Structure 1
Amino acid sequence: MSDPKQESKFEVNKTYAEINARIKAGEAVVVTADEMVDIVRQEGPVEAARRIDVVTTGTFSTMCSSGAFLNFGQTNPTIKAQKVWINKVSAYAGLAAIDIYLGATEPTEGDPLNQVYPGEFRYGGGHIIEDLVAGKAVQLEAKAYPTDCYANTKCKKEITLAEMPHALLCNPRNGYQNYNCAVNLSDKIVYTYMGTLKPNCRNANYCSAGQLSPLLNDPLYRTIGIGTRIFLGGGVGYVTFQGTQHNPGTPRGDNGVPTRPAGTMMVQGDMKQMSADWLRGVSIRGYGCSLAVGLGVPIPILNEDMARFTGVSDEEIFTHVVDYGHDYTNGIARHYGQVSYAQLKSGEIEVAGKKVPTAPLSSLPGARKIAETLKQWIQEGKFHLGEPVDYFPSADFSFDPEKQQS
């Protein structure tokens, strides 16, 4: 685990306790990551660090590595579930008697459309999670083998989230720190988790909120760690570990921001606090089902380095162009240039001398609304910062402020 303490002496030094005391007193100065870009440009990182206490971030996008631990309540006689389905979607039951895990990408069994068009699942685990937080009833079916302490062998009932004793959204990998820009250089259309890609590089899809994205505002994980309190699915959640595929050693720019997929977060929270506005079932043509997750992380401005990091702009964040028509599926690591998020958000980039239209898979209006909502919660004293009890593995990166614009 990395040590968040830096050897260099900062002109500004704040603690979580000091910032939380200001939040409690209604005195904290909170801005969104969008707003912080202009503040750092105009005032410089030192003055920005003196004046700003918290920067809020946000992202709202499909996050396939998501799911929920659900406890569906005991039956009479009692049951130890072996196989469970919710609305004909299989859930994993190899836990305790009535605890199950429902994966966001698990599809409906026997979906007739998939027999004709593979990957055309219309409904799956992500949709069930949305239905539950929306207050809808779902049909649960369980089968089991009998034991002396669990005699029941089957259960079928309609159930709502309110009737479940416990429901925990638990996502092993969310909030990817940067991601590929996807194109298709083959001569046929391809259907991917990055959306539909037209042949001969006729479109480019990307999936990040750029300067609003949480881990792009804390590129070296100095404040985001185990125990960080976050906006999750419309409620309050926590970062509980580094996410699966967390890879801090990817190439980085002079500002510490990775230019390829890097860090990830494992997050969880009480589903009963959440909203269908921020947990949406997704069906991706030719790929399958998933879940769009609303996620926001507050970044405490402890010193001028954190002001610099949170002042990063779309013009300073770059990603690689990757061919999903051949290279990606064959495990080839070729890249076709770098593009900034400012270029991506402009609606057009250039790949191999050709102008290509771009489209986001991440909702920028949604990300902005999350950052604004989290800002309001903090200003109203409804949300305090959670200081990490430990930190993610970080990059071997030496930050040089002389290379940064003040």
Structure 2
Amino acid sequence: MAGKASTTKTIAEINERIKKGKAVVLTAEEMVETVRRLGKTKAAKEVDVVTTGTFSPMCSSGLLFNFGQEPPLMRASQVWLNNVPCHGGLAAVDAYLGATETSADDPLNKVYPGRFAYGGGHVIEDLLRGKPVRLRARSYVTDCYPRKELEKDVTLASLPFAQLLNPRNCYQNYNCAVNMSGRTIYTYMGPLKPGCRNANYATAGQLSPLFNDPYLRTIGLGTRIFMGGGIGYVIGAGTQHNPKPPRNERGLPLTAAGTLMLKGDLKQMNPRYVRGLSLVGYGCSLNMGVGIPIPILDEDMAWFTGVSDADIQMPIKDYGFDYPNGVNRVMGHATFEELKSGSIIVNERTAQTVPVTSYCMSLEIAEELKKWIQEGKFFLSEPQDKIPSM
């Protein structure tokens, strides 16, 4: 088989191999050893698809939903789900629930250390688990929409439309957060102890989607992905997308860089891969499971997907003073391999490393996507538009 294979392929050719059950699919973790053992040329001939995965807090996520009309009709200008405010300034009975919005009973200014908040991410998980959620809506009255108030229980099954529309997911790289101040601080990266005693970090390292395609050659508008246990799509660059980060010799960004905007049908998803999150002393978020298949089109893509944890350098930043004051200072870099070891040295101090991304769940997602492709249940899609990466 290897002797007949070409080092260059098209997505259409790879899909034909998937259809015939002949595609060679590896997880990104497996590809590291394959490229190391065979080299990029032979790996490009032998491997068709590399599957990636990440399971991490993705704060810029949310639910776009429609809760249906009933007589008399309504134009909802204010909406709550389980007392969590939604944005109702759309049309009729459309609304958007942000994952980080907290309950009106537990606003951010009342969140304090030792207390867990309930918010949009938890509502999304509750809906996905089939639980009833209390809907309240209010509006001014018009001739075409005479209803002023509505209150009822809704379930995911009863919502005519429920799609996750996530403005910024799958950061290509992210900060390793430390705290150089003299007090414990509570952040979206979790609690940070004073005096640089812990270092919290995100992403799935060598499994992470955008580390395996650093120039976004195969990922763009219309890319089909694993999203929350169902099928979703990339719909463009995410907010805060940085197409021109400093890069190392492998093309990997040295700072926070690429991001993706994603969409997917919540009704297809699995609550194992979509979970509400409460960050003590900070607020709420949503753990999202995302897996992206990387087609091995040529030797370069084989080389990129052979990235290992030792190749990835993550910027260390101080969240005690620099970050909240807008000071963009990088204190140094740590490789993902070093971060996974359990401790790093920062300014001659030993900091215990704490992942906020689950590597084992990320690997599970990559394995599940691999299984879908091998069973002919998932085919690759051609990007319809590029995402800037240079």
Q: TM-score range by the shorter chain?
A: over 0.9
- Structure 1 residue 115, shift from structure 2 partner: 3.5
CA distance in 1 between partners of 2:155 and 2:193 (Å): 41
SS at match of 1:269: strand
| The one of 250, 254, 272 aligned to 1:255 | 250
- Structure 1 residue 121, shift from structure 2 partner: 5.3
Deviations 1:159-214 (A, max 9, x none): 10001111110000000001011101111111111110000010100001000000
Pairwise mapping of residues 214-253 of structure 1 onto structure 2 (< 5 A)? Answer: 214-253=209-248
CA distance in 2 between partners of 1:58 and 1:116 (Å): 32
Q: Is the 8 A contact 2:113 2:186 kept in 1?
A: no
- Structure 1 residue 353, shift from structure 2 partner: 1.8
Q: Is the 8 A contact 2:50 2:296 kept in 1?
A: yes
CA distance in 2 between partners of 1:243 and 1:327 (Å): 24
- Structure 1 residue 111, shift from structure 2 partner: 2.2
| The one of 14, 17, 25 aligned to 1:22 | 17
- Structure 1 residue 116, shift from structure 2 partner: 7.0
Identity among equivalent pairs (%): 59
- Structure 1 residue 335, shift from structure 2 partner: 1.7
**Structure 1, gaps ≥5 residues long:** 1-10, 396-406
Q: Is the 8 A contact 1:120 1:288 kept in 2?
A: no
Deviations 1:345-372 (A, max 9, x none): 0111111122221010000011000000
Pairwise mapping of residues 93-132 of structure 1 onto structure 2 (< 5 A)? Answer: 93-111=88-106, 115=110, 117=112, 120=115, 122-132=117-127
Pairwise mapping of residues 1-400 of structure 1 onto structure 2 (< 5 A)? Answer: 12-111=7-106, 115=110, 117=112, 120=115, 122-395=117-390
Amino acid at match of 2:14: I
Q: Is the 8 A contact 1:56 1:298 kept in 2?
A: yes
SS at match of 1:366: helix
- Structure 1 residue 293, shift from structure 2 partner: 0.3
CA distance in 1 between partners of 2:294 and 2:26 (Å): 10
CA distance in 2 between partners of 1:89 and 1:293 (Å): 20
Deviations 1:257-295 (A, max 9, x none): 001100000000111001111110011112111100000
Deviations 1:203-238 (A, max 9, x none): 100001000000000000000111100000110000
TM-score by length of 2: 0.97
CA distance in 2 between partners of 1:119 and 1:386 (Å): 46
- Structure 1 residue 122, shift from structure 2 partner: 1.5
CA distance in 2 between partners of 1:335 and 1:237 (Å): 34
Deviations 1:279-325 (A, max 9, x none): 10011112111100000000000000000000000000101110101
> Which residue does the alignment assign to 1:401?
none
SS at match of 1:170: strand
**Runs of 4+ residues over 2 Å off in structure 1:** 110-121
- Structure 1 residue 114, shift from structure 2 partner: 5.6
CA distance in 1 between partners of 2:199 and 2:260 (Å): 26
RMSD of aligned Cα (Å): 1.3
- Structure 1 residue 118, shift from structure 2 partner: 8.0
- Structure 1 residue 105, shift from structure 2 partner: 0.5
Count matched residues. 385
TM-score by length of 1: 0.93
